[in-house]
Structure 1
Amino acid sequence: MNPPATSPLSPVDAHRIERHAAAADAAGFLHPVHQALLHRRGWLKMLAPRAAGGAELPLPEVVRLEEAVAAIDGSMGWVLTLCAGAGWFAGFLAPELARQIIGTPRVCLGGSGASTGYADEDDDGYRISGRWDYASGAPMATHFTLNAILRANGQPLLDEQGAPRSRAFLVPAALVRVEDNWRSIGMRASASHSYRIEDAWVSKEHGFTIRPDAATANGPLYRFPFYSLAYVTLAANVAGMASHFVRLARECIGRRQKGMPLLEEKEQSLHAARTHFYQTLDRSWAQVAGGITLSDDDMLSIQTSSLKLVATARAAVDELYPYCGLHAAHAESTINRVWRDFHTASQHSLLLPA
């Protein structure tokens, strides 16, 4: 299955991804060809600072690539997005540490955003303990990101509102024990396992704050708000999976000659929502690249266009599925795998209706 002519994916790379997608799904992790492609193309470093050895690509270019990969294989698109997204955090680390991490052979950063662990102050560092879920790409991760509640003398440190303070950390995989427990119906090859850390010491430099004013890299990529970046990258993945499903649905519906008007309606709706989504993203990126800080209204527009795209994708997949026949329910069919991937990825809490 080749991508559209305007796709940022080459036909050769698209074929490599598609050819091994079913095998990766059955194995429960990305095929070696997929992994090699991620590293050979430098995609896992595309959001990391150039000064640290990353590509630091413009965000609209990154998002379009992530959508294109997800439109061939949802699991690979998801791993690319989440692991490259973790690489973005290098723009908030001390520059020397960022260079060391991004310079790691076959570097891959995975992790979780939940504050389900503790970081206890210990001299000039922290002792970290806890357990975190849903680290996509965990088996190939060389480093893990996490959030942990800060403590001193066993007691949580509190912020100005009296709530426990949380801090982000990036730690080497040698300190982490991955728990092989990802058993979802879809996105199987994302291998989004849990991981655990038990009383591991890291220096204070491994902690960081994700705010534009805390960035250590100077590019506009690190002035783009974190949640806005998360919305657009996740929504693009869901849109890619939905477009894959709709292409396969056209084949099924074309054979059955029932549901074609609905199919055309959903294709038009997806096109309109996608167009608006990229117009909003491109405009927002141009503002940030031009030195303008996004306002609350600007960030709300990004969130709204992202959630609208996701809602339109959900409606297309759910309403077209019944017209695709029992072939779409067969566990080994491509359309069933895409359907399972879509409904697993779209469960992400950030993609729920506002």
Structure 2
Amino acid sequence: MITLPLPGLHARDVRRIGDHAAAAEARRFLHPVQQALLHRRGWLKMLAPRSCGGAELPLPDVVRLEEAVASIDGSMGWVLTLCAGAGWFAGFLPPPIAADIMHTRRVCVAGSGAPTGYAEQEGDGYRISGSWDYASGAPMGTHFTLNAVLRKDGQPMLDASGQPSIRAFIVPVRHVSITPSWSTIGMRATATHRYAIDGAWVPKEHGFTIAPEAATADGPLYRFPFMSLAYVTLAANIAGMAAHFLRLASDLVGRRQDNASAMLSDKMHQLAQKREHFYQALDRCWKLVEQGRTLASQDMDAIRATSLALVAISRCAVDELYPYCGLYAAREDTDINRVWRDFHTAIQHKLFTA
């Protein structure tokens, strides 16, 4: 049996997350009890700077917590990861703006990284228009992040290489309209909807650059490369969901008289090994950044490789064991079926299919 440490999770938290997972899927967004827990524990601000009201937790602790939550409810783990990850951008905003955002009641930053909108330069700011897909946790969002192509006088502004210049922005929810658009076999409770902005003007200080040299907060969190952070946080979610599936599968596979039990044991062992390698790479790279060093290309390659290896064994374990779980696992009203659907929806993320 795979058991995961549950950092920061009390037994009561585990029950609150798990007991409401099925109801959250039915209502197609996190249950109010789950939402309240995210706010009460401050998890949505755990990557934001302490200087603006965040917790600024060490990244390895954050990743382990996200994995633990995903191992109880994949949708809640995903919303936590994506919205806390968007909160990390506070470390790249002017401190007064970051503080104003992070002190918002029940703050939750949602958003999308696709540059599917425009930001027209106007006075001392930009007028933003466009629509963006896949904002996990959208119904909770108090602020939304986005990427937009910069324009002046209706024409795209170009960067140093002659390509359209793209900038990240953060806007309050009052400028945003959300369109329910999330219709998938799994991860239903993430409410990963589309949102649009129609000509909202924001000061230029609401634009930001995601790069260590552009950080406005001093901690090591904001010197950790963005893509490396994305790999470890999302891979941990996949591993958590896979571990949840294997726990549920063990009760079904254990009743069989064929070699399925041996396969289950083997997949658990392989997953545990890849998970250990994954955290070894993360912990080592985090220590380097804590010491003030810049991660070399081989360090970032190790983060990517161990993340993808963890995802690959997770996929292999779930896919190879599912046929041995019987028709019970094909019933949509069972926990194992929900976890299977959540897993196969999350694994479609472009980070793991590129």
Report the TM-score, using the length of structure 1 for normalisation.
Answer: 0.98
State the AA in 1 paired with 2:45: K
Check if 1:41 corresponds to 2:41.
yes
> What whole-Å deviation, never above 9, does each CA across 1:28-53 have from its counterpart, x for those lacking one?
00000000000000000000000000
| 1:165 matched residue in structure 2 | 165
Q: Is the 8 A contact 2:5 2:68 kept in 1?
A: no
* Structure 2 CA distance for aligned equivalents of residues 123 and 5 of structure 1: 52
* Structure 2 CA distance for aligned equivalents of residues 7 and 347 of structure 1: 27
* Structure 2 CA distance for aligned equivalents of residues 332 and 243 of structure 1: 20
Deviation for aligned residue 1:352: 2.2
Give the alignment of 1:1-354 within 5 angstroms.
4=4, 7-258=7-258, 259-352=260-353
Deviation for aligned residue 1:3: 6.5
2:104 alignment partner, SS class: coil
Deviation for aligned residue 1:12: 1.1
Identity %: 66
Deviation for aligned residue 1:4: 4.2
> What whole-Å deviation, never above 9, does each CA across 1:175-206 have from its counterpart, x for those lacking one?
00000111111000000000000011000010
- Unaligned regions of 5+ residues in structure 2, if any? none
* Structure 1 CA distance for aligned equivalents of residues 166 and 7 of structure 2: 40
Structure 1 moving runs of 4+ over 3 Å: 2-8
* Structure 1 CA distance for aligned equivalents of residues 160 and 4 of structure 2: 51
Deviation for aligned residue 1:257: 3.4
* Structure 1 CA distance for aligned equivalents of residues 257 and 103 of structure 2: 54
1:113 alignment partner, SS class: coil
Deviation for aligned residue 1:256: 2.5
* Structure 2 CA distance for aligned equivalents of residues 287 and 3 of structure 1: 29
* Structure 2 CA distance for aligned equivalents of residues 217 and 308 of structure 1: 32
Q: Is the 8 A contact 2:52 2:99 kept in 1?
A: yes
* Structure 1 CA distance for aligned equivalents of residues 296 and 269 of structure 2: 31
Q: How many residues align?
A: 352
2:174 alignment partner, SS class: helix
> What whole-Å deviation, never above 9, does each CA across 1:73-96 have from its counterpart, x for those lacking one?
000000000000000000000000
> What whole-Å deviation, never above 9, does each CA across 1:13-67 have from its counterpart, x for those lacking one?
0011000000000100000000000000000000000000000000000000000
2:271 alignment partner, SS class: helix
State the AA in 2 paired with 1:293: T
1:118 alignment partner, SS class: strand
Q: Is the 8 A contact 2:6 2:65 kept in 1?
A: no
What is the Cα-based RMSD across aligned positions, in Å?
A: 1.1
* Structure 1 CA distance for aligned equivalents of residues 196 and 290 of structure 2: 38
* Structure 2 CA distance for aligned equivalents of residues 48 and 160 of structure 1: 31
Deviates more, 1:215-224 or 1:344-353: 344-353
> What whole-Å deviation, never above 9, does each CA across 1:290-345 have from its counterpart, x for those lacking one?
10100111101100000000001000000000000001000000000000000000
Q: Is the 8 A contact 1:238 1:342 kept in 2?
A: yes
1:115 alignment partner, SS class: coil
* Structure 1 CA distance for aligned equivalents of residues 343 and 182 of structure 2: 16
State the AA in 2 paired with 1:169: F
Deviation for aligned residue 1:160: 1.9
Q: Is the 8 A contact 1:119 1:149 kept in 2?
A: yes
* Structure 2 CA distance for aligned equivalents of residues 204 and 276 of structure 1: 42
* Structure 2 CA distance for aligned equivalents of residues 45 and 352 of structure 1: 29
* Structure 1 CA distance for aligned equivalents of residues 42 and 245 of structure 2: 28
- Unaligned regions of 5+ residues in structure 1, if any? none
Q: Is the 8 A contact 1:3 1:14 kept in 2?
A: no
Q: Is the 8 A contact 1:3 1:11 kept in 2?
A: no
* Structure 2 CA distance for aligned equivalents of residues 296 and 5 of structure 1: 30
